[in-house]
Amino acid sequence: MTSKRSLAEIDTALQAGAARRAFGVLGVHDLREAMRKKGVEFEPVCLIYEVCNPHQAKTVLEANGAVSTALPCRISVYGKEGAYTIATIRPTALMSIFGEPGLEAAANEVERVVKGIMEDAAGPQ
């Protein structure tokens, strides 16, 4: 989804939306800054938020430890002022890779929540 909000507004709304839904923001990776530190010029904004609900994580990890390769969920914010995109890989698509039918319910719930967090971040359309 897209947003005309400022990066600061997106950040505040995303963090608040995650907290309201019992998801933690485990970290935020600033790819532009990380590349700059390595001597690579990269102009666009690209922030990656790692979000997680420990109860959902426990459920899917107990069903299949290999799911750890797909955790935590990531929400990316990229673009430029006035035209940011907020995106994620759908948890249902990620969990389907593991071929574990017991993961479907948790994936559906996490996807619903992550979509809500993204909608909060994007703001009114």
| Mean per-residue pLDDT, 21-46 | 96
Instruction: Note whether 106 and 99 are within 8 A (CB).
Output: no
pLDDT at 102: 85
Which structural domains are found in the chain, ordered by start?
2-120 (3.30.310.70)
Is residue 23 a contact partner of residue 53, using CB atoms and an 8 Å limit? yes
Segments in the chain forming alpha helices (H)? 7-20, 31-37, 54-63, 91-96, 104-122
Binned at pLDDT 50, 70 and 90, residue 115 comes out as very high
The helix or strand, by DSSP H or E, that contains position 73, with its residue range, turns out to be strand 73-80
Q: How confident is the model at residue 53 (pLDDT cuts 50, 70, 90)?
A: very high
Mean pLDDT, the chain, integer: 95
Alpha helix positions (H), 21-103: 31-37, 54-63, 91-96
pLDDT in tens, 59-113: 999 999 999 999 999 999 999 888 999 999 999 999 999 998 889 999 999 999 9
